[in-house]
Amino acid sequence: MKAAVVKEFGAPLVIEERPDPEPGPGQVRIRLEASGLCHTDIHAAHGDWPVKPVPPFVPGHEGVGIVEKLGEGVTHLSVGERVAVPWLGSACGRCEHCLSGWETLCGSQVNTGYGCDGGYAEKMLARADFAQAVPDGVSALDAAPLTCAGVTTYKALKVAGVGPAQLVAISGVGGLGHLAVQYAKIAGATVAAIDVTDDKLELARELGADIVIDARTQDVAAELKRHGGAHAALALAVNPAAFAAVNSGLRRGGKLVMVALPAHGTLEIPIFDTVLNGTSVIGSIVGTRQDLDEVFRLHAAGRTRVVHETRPLTAVNEAVDEVLRGEVKARIVFDLGTGG
C-alpha cells in the first residue's frame, strides 16, 4: 500500500510503498476512500508544537474508508462497513475526563496521524472503539472534513452554549469556519462571519451568515459591537491578531472559544475589561465520539453542506502549499478511491 510519510520535519512528504498493516487485538484495518487535509497535519509535518510526533510517521486524522480486516476481539464493527478515524485515536476510558464525558482531555489519549500513523495512506489501522461508523447517505468525501473540521466546530459551539437570539462570530471561514457557520445557524443564532478573502466571505453568505465582516477593510471589534457585541466568538483563523479582534468584539458576558492553533500564538487578555465585562476565554479541542456521531447524523439528515476540493494523495506536497498560501476555499480531501 502507498503512504505519504513525514521523514523529517519541514521536508516534503515522501510517498512510499509499505506492507499492509496487520490489525492487533482491538484494532481494525481500513481501506481508505478519502482523507482530509487539516491544518494540524501541516503543524505535525513541520514539528511546530511543543509536543512533537516522531518521524517517520503518516499524518492525517480525517480518514474515512471501509473496514477490511478485524483484529482479535472486535465484535461491534464488520468487514465492509464505512468508518471514520478522527484525531482522538484512543483514550484510556478510566480517567476523570473519560468518565465525565470529556475523553478529548484524556491525558493518555493517542492522536491519529501524530502518536500513531494516520490517514494519508491507502490503508490504516484504528482502534475499533474509536473508529466512528459513518451513516448511510454520507459519502466518504463529505465524511472526511466532518471528522475533524465538523466535529471541532460543532463542539466549540456546544462549549459556548450557543442558542437562538444570540450573535455568534465565526472568525475564519475555511475548512472549519464554513461548517461552523452552518452549525451556528442550526443552533438558531445570528451569525457574523469574518474573513479576509472575497471568496470566503461569499461562501459564508451562501451558507447562511447574516453578517459578513471583511477584516482587511473593516474594524472587526467595532462591527461586532455595532450589532451589540458577540455572545460567543469562535477563533478559527490561524492568526493571533484575529483572536484579539474577536475578543474585543464580545458583549458583556460573552465567550471567546479558541480553536485554531497558531504555531507561536499568544493572546494578551486585558484584565480590567475581562473582569468588568465578565467575559470568558475557553479552549476547545476536537470533540468526543458522541459529538462526531451527532455531526454525521446532521449531515445524513441533509442539514449541512460540506465544501471540499479533491486531490490525489500524490499531490500531498502541492496541497500543503496551497493551504499555506490560503488559496483553498474550504477543505482539501485526498481521494483514495471513491471512484470520483
Q: Which residues bind Zn ion (CB under 5 A)?
A: 38, 40, 91-92, 95, 98, 106, 148
Contacts of 133 (CB under 8 A, 6+ apart): 77, 81, 82, 83
Report d(CA 256, CA 250) in Å as an integer. 8
Closest distance to Zn ion from the beta carbon of 94 (Å): 6
Specify the residue, 4 or 106, whose C-beta has the smaller distance to Zn ion.
106
Closest distance to Zn ion from the beta carbon of 165 (Å): 31
Closest distance to Zn ion from the beta carbon of 92 (Å): 3
Specify the residue, 38 or 189, whose C-beta has the smaller distance to Zn ion.
38
Specify the residue, 225 or 289, whose C-beta has the smaller distance to Zn ion.
289
Closest distance to Zn ion from the beta carbon of 305 (Å): 19
Report d(CA 200, CA 236) in Å as an integer. 13
Closest distance to Zn ion from the beta carbon of 106 (Å): 3
Nearest to 147 by CA among 323, 308, 19: 308
Nearest to 73 by CA among 26, 30, 29, 22: 26
Report d(CA 204, CA 192) in Å as an integer. 9
Report d(CA 283, CA 285) in Å as an integer. 7
* Residues 201/233, Cβ–Cβ less than 8 Å: no
Closest distance to Zn ion from the beta carbon of 141 (Å): 16
- If you write DSSP's letter for every residue of 50-119 in order, what string do you get? SS---SSB---S-EEEEEEEEPTT--S--TT-EEEE-SEEE--SSSHHHHTT-GGG-TT-EEBTTTB--S
Specify the residue, 38 or 193, whose C-beta has the smaller distance to Zn ion.
38
Closest distance to Zn ion from the beta carbon of 298 (Å): 18
Specify the residue, 151 or 193, whose C-beta has the smaller distance to Zn ion.
151
Specify the residue, 105 or 211, whose C-beta has the smaller distance to Zn ion.
105
Specify the residue, 38 or 220, whose C-beta has the smaller distance to Zn ion.
38
CA 337 to chain centre: 22
Size of the chain, expressed as the number of residues it contains:
340
Report d(CA 279, CA 273) in Å as an integer. 8
